[in-house]
Amino acid sequence: MSKILRINTKNKTYTFEDVPEELAGLGGRALTSKMVLNEVPATCHPLGQANKIIFAPGLLSGSPAANSGRLSAGTKSPLTGGIKESNAGGLVSQKLAKLEIKAVVLEDKPEGDDYSMVVIKKDSVEFLPADEYVGNGNYDTMEKLWDRFGKKTGVMCIGQAGEQRLKAASIHVADPQGTPGRALGRGGLGAVMGSKKIKAIIVDDKGTSRLAIADPDAFKVANKRWVEMLRTHPVCGEGLPALGTAVLVNVINEAGALPTKNFRTGRFDHAQEISGEKMVENMEARGGVVAEGCHPGCVMKCSQVYHDKDGKYLTSGFEYETLWAFGAHCQIKELDDIAMMDRLCDDFGVDTIDTGVAIGMAMEGGLIPWGDSKAAIELVKEIGKGTPMGKILGSGTAFTADALGVDRIPAVKRQAFPAYDPRSVKGVGITYATSPMGADHTAGYGVTANILAVGGTVDPLKKEGNLELSRNLQVATAAIDAAGLCLFVAFAVLDNEDGVQTIVDLLNAQYGISLTPDDVVSLGQSILNDEKEFNRRAGFTKKDDQLPEMFNETFPPHDTTWDFSTDELQETLKF
Amino acid sequence: MSKILRINTKNKTYTFEDVPEELAGLGGRALTSKMVLNEVPATCHPLGQANKIIFAPGLLSGSPAANSGRLSAGTKSPLTGGIKESNAGGLVSQKLAKLEIKAVVLEDKPEGDDYSMVVIKKDSVEFLPADEYVGNGNYDTMEKLWDRFGKKTGVMCIGQAGEQRLKAASIHVADPQGTPGRALGRGGLGAVMGSKKIKAIIVDDKGTSRLAIADPDAFKVANKRWVEMLRTHPVCGEGLPALGTAVLVNVINEAGALPTKNFRTGRFDHAQEISGEKMVENMEARGGVVAEGCHPGCVMKCSQVYHDKDGKYLTSGFEYETLWAFGAHCQIKELDDIAMMDRLCDDFGVDTIDTGVAIGMAMEGGLIPWGDSKAAIELVKEIGKGTPMGKILGSGTAFTADALGVDRIPAVKRQAFPAYDPRSVKGVGITYATSPMGADHTAGYGVTANILAVGGTVDPLKKEGNLELSRNLQVATAAIDAAGLCLFVAFAVLDNEDGVQTIVDLLNAQYGISLTPDDVVSLGQSILNDEKEFNRRAGFTKKDDQLPEMFNETFPPHDTTWDFSTDELQETLKF
């Protein structure tokens, strides 16, 4: 029987609790958002003793279902001041599921300055002193922890940014190679973990057996269909394995939606130089790994290992959004320098999107010149050093803009925009405005029907259909996040009549239940309602569900503007 | 006939407008708040082109009424994100009134980096290049401008903090000695002026005649009563002239309400060393001026000139709140070092309360030790240098706490608490929570009945009567701010049955109208309603009208806690 592991970080005690009825059918984001709503006072300080951070494997995590190893983490965000769910791959989710732990809750907060780590095994939960790792980045910390606890453990930890409790600090989850390419990236979760003085959590599933499945035969049948569906889809089975998410640089640039020089135009003259094609060319010439999964059971393998020009490991999990944030947004065209900044962010434990967009704010504010990649690298290094400049940048885009008196800030709910201009991909724009998470492409990825012709087509430049597109995707995404599935399964699901039913079959076979596709929709809506309710209690109003003024400007090359009113936007998530 | 002077800072053009009917009877805060509500989109960026900053003399400014020379400035605040009215003495208010200018409105925003200044004379409004003053502090700037335009002009300008558009930047108004001891201090107005690239405004009333008064005889009679009332009140006529506002250090410490070490206790062991008594002892030994008015016609003279131990000018307008913020709050006991920080803040143009409380955040975050005045001075100097640390501090208390990951933040609506603990002076606590301005003692100074037995007595430690006390004072204060009267007249007004009637008589005599005391109450309520409405549109909710969690702690020596619920607080400003 799964349990909730509740950890008091002040007293260094823990309890295993039975799962109450209300939470029994929930996992991943559904569980973290419900627990945050129920247990965290919405007006508390995110770094205070009343906040909690909750880690939960998805409903399918730990099972053999393909791409089901995502971990959700929920909290009150230091970045947005609202609820936050962030999710990541890596090894932790599946191991927690195998230990039959439905959620790990970090509560309260110690008074002193000493750091601890928590080691979770089949028959024990241990607090160990972690001061020896303090000041270490995620690369060193993960290496040392694997040396100490073995390479079969799942590790998640914070770097210097989390220790400094910076608003853009992430929590990194070791991938199967033990490197910190996987991040609970957005919303400052690392700061919350830092405020609780937990440097790392180590999860060891030694001694556990296979997860029980209620109807193994039905599960096998469904999973076979599932794997087939993923492998044969052009995005999941071809685009992502070939070029990673970096496949999008040329695609989005071609669509005129690659925000360049802080969202002034949708085409970057040097897009080719920072593209997936260029990245793969380098990897093929220098060594590295072109297609790698972020967790066992992944069949899409959108991750990679990127080497420097001397053929040495530089970074991994090098995403399109990172390429864009440090690249086109800052007018930087040096791919290796962007890779270095990706590595630095992973090492210090800070969100690449909010940090990259913040570097653009430093350029906007005249601190360094546009396009100066060397100056940008030096700025990013400040985060690790803990200088005042580093604290500003590590606090994210909106904070950096404020410190520098910049009023051209691409952020909603204080979270930086990702790599798609809302005027040229309006389905994503609706998501930026209305997601309870703040500007977040993964919360309702309208690029599907807007650009990729996945799940139908909706004109990206017009209003028609985009609100509905975002709504449906936000609902579907919330459900996918609850299942612990990788979001990229959505491409295949949207293009297969049988897609949602296959997920439902997997869930039904695993738990011996009888959900319908309608139940999945209800689950997604109920997650969003929980999140909206938390934000309402935290003081959010409809003015928080808008894009900033700068998007009233006409955007080349399509010369579109943002033309949704506040009241129209309020219709998006009304169920 | 009075006009509104509208200045377009982008095009460097101006117009004189007739005063529309709706604004005709308004002045000072009544006028700035109404115009901000009507003209500034509540969700705009405070540093963007849509924000405006409006300067308005009070209704009695320019007349011979004692203590009527206060200037109001209104805008959308970069600090709070809500509406802001700040007011100050100095020479500008009376001169604008004599020029028959009811309001000066700075609009729009230039694109380049060049600074201008605006010179307003009887028959001209001129834009002059001001780049030669950029980088100068307020002391140098004011001296140079007086040298250039003559010592009879009124000057207001920004220092390095306003140029950097920092959230705690103030606008300084030269006092009769030409020094920047007078500030439109709170809420970051200097950043708005900086965003519009206006370094200074010079007001020259040469050639104007006395302001016309409708009934000069009635005015003379009323003003005689008015002066008498102020001169004979123990606070206005004795306490303030003798010791300035610093008279409060020992009084509030004795009352157990002097927040010490970031609001951990209400008594500071070294209160005597930073008291008004000690300040006067130094002034008498070193030279300086014990009692000085901030504008002509002041009969209370709570300002002063404070010299260093070598008998050289150090600072002026050295207030209780400054002594407290850099003193007890930071456990600093060196009076001369506090005076130095007051001077630095005046020179850089940054609010002493938000900056002083921010220094306490730096101590709370472990950046410098508690009580280390030399380290504190070095930190304050960073603001003038424009370093990243300076940008953090100059952005105020809440911002500094955020940068350092501190969760013990004495601020409401992102504005720092002043020098009275809300658990020991509950009437002021209600004002902190509910004023549309954020934590602001001057918005409803419950210290009157709570501590000073002025206008009756209300137990400062109990709930009873404090909500009503704050409500009545907030209404009265808004009206006083509309009249252009110094807030300190309230002591005398509250203790004289004839007080409000005397102000009404002055207004009626000046304008030939027939207001009643009830009209004054309605005016105050209507100002607050305008301000609340702006904040509502800007997205403020009842959660913004609360004190932070730290005030749930028991507060020595009286061991009181903050015990007003959110819903109770919402009753405060319901009219």
Give residue-wise pLDDT tens across range B355-371: 999 999 999 999 999 99
Q: Does any CB of chain A come closer than 8 Å to the CB of residue B19?
A: no
- Rounded average pLDDT over A523-545: 97
Q: Could you tell me if A200 and A141 are in contact, meaning their C-beta atoms sit under 8 angstroms apart?
A: yes
- Rounded average pLDDT over B538-566: 96
Q: 1.10.569.10, 3.40.50.360, 1.20.58.220, 1.20.1260.10: which CATH number matches A241-419?
A: 1.10.569.10
Question: Over chain B, what is the mean pLDDT?
Answer: 97
- In which residue are the tokens 């009076």 written? B335
Q: Could you tell me if A172 and A180 are in contact, meaning their C-beta atoms sit under 8 angstroms apart?
A: yes
Closest chain A residue to the Cα of B41, Cα to Cα: A549
Alpha-carbon distance B12 to B9, whole Å? Answer: 5
**Tens-place pLDDT, residues A146-205:** 999 999 999 999 999 999 999 999 999 999 999 999 999 999 999 999 999 999 999 999
Distances in Å between the Cα of A257 and the Cα atoms of A239, A461, B213 are 19, 10, 64
- Residue B356 one-letter amino acid: G
CA A494 to chain CA centroid, nearest Å: 21
| Residue environment code for A436-473, b if the CB has 16+ CB neighbours within 10 A, otherwise e | bbbbbbbbbbbbbbbbbebbeebebbeeebbbebbbbb
Give percent helix, percent strand, percent coil of chain A, each to the nearest 5.
45, 15, 40
For residue B461, how many other CB atoms are within 10 A of its CB? 17
List CB contacts of A415: < 8 A, sequence separation 6 or more: A79, A80, A186, A187, A354, A396, A397, A398, A437, A438, A439, A440
Q: Do B164 and A537 touch (CB under 8 A)?
A: no
Q: Does any CB of chain B come closer than 8 Å to the CB of residue A2?
A: no
For residue B537, how many other CB atoms are within 10 A of its CB? 17
For residue B159, how many other CB atoms are within 10 A of its CB? 32
**Tens-place pLDDT, residues A67-94:** 999 999 999 999 999 999 999 999 999 9
Alpha-carbon distance B63 to B210, whole Å? Answer: 8
Q: For residue A266, what is the enclosing H or E element?
A: none
- Rounded average pLDDT over B97-125: 97
Which contacts (CB < 8 Å, 24+ apart) does range B454-459 have? B454/B235, B454/B491, B454/B494, B454/B495, B455/B494, B455/B495, B456/B494, B458/B427
Residues of chain A in contact with residue B402, where contact means CB-CB under 8 angstroms, are 167, 395, 399
pLDDT of residue A81: 98
Could you tell me if the ipTM is greater than 0.85? yes
Alpha-carbon distance B177 to B234, whole Å? Answer: 27
pLDDT band for position A310 (cuts 50, 70, 90): very high
Q: Does any CB of chain A come closer than 8 Å to the CB of residue B52?
A: no
Question: Over chain A, what is the mean pLDDT?
Answer: 97
What angle do helix axes B499-511 and B517-537 make, rounded to 10 degrees? 90
Residues of chain A in contact with residue B544, where contact means CB-CB under 8 angstroms, are 539
A497 exposed, middle or buried (CB, 10 Å; 0-12, 13-18, 19+)?
A: exposed
B567 has a pLDDT exceeding 90: yes
pLDDT of residue B1: 72
- Residue B477 one-letter amino acid: T
Q: Does any CB of chain B come closer than 8 Å to the CB of residue A412?
A: no
Q: 1.10.10.10, 3.60.9.10, 3.40.190.10, 3.40.50.1010: which CATH number matches B3-203?
A: 3.60.9.10
Q: 3.10.200.10, 1.10.569.10, 2.40.50.140, 3.10.350.10: which CATH number matches B238-419?
A: 1.10.569.10
pLDDT of residue A1: 72
List CB contacts of A549: < 8 A, sequence separation 6 or more: B44, B45, B48, B50
Q: Does any CB of chain A come closer than 8 Å to the CB of residue B539?
A: yes
> Where are chain A's structural domains?
3-203, 241-419
Alpha-carbon distance B540 to B555, whole Å? Answer: 29
Residue A86, strand partner residues: A73
pLDDT of residue A415: 98
Indicate which of A195, A385, A391 best probes the interface with B, i.e. most B CBs within 10 Å of its own CB: A391
- In which residue are the tokens 């700075």 written? B106
Kindly state the tokens that stand for A206.
Answer: 């030694």
Would you state the torsion angle of the CA atoms of residues B504, B510, B511, B512, taken in this order, to the nearest 10 degrees? 80
- Rounded average pLDDT over A24-45: 97
Q: Give B245's DSSP letter.
A: G
Alpha-carbon distance B106 to B109, whole Å? Answer: 9
pLDDT band for position A420 (cuts 50, 70, 90): very high
Q: Does any CB of chain A come closer than 8 Å to the CB of residue B544?
A: yes
**Tens-place pLDDT, residues A216-242:** 999 999 999 999 999 999 999 999 999
Q: Give B147's DSSP letter.
A: H
What angle do helix axes B466-483 and B28-39 make, rounded to 10 degrees? 90
Residues 335 through 394 of chain A touching chain B, CB cutoff 8 Å: 387-389, 391-392
Indicate which of A402, A413, A534, A541 best probes the interface with B, i.e. most B CBs within 10 Å of its own CB: A402
pLDDT of residue A368: 98
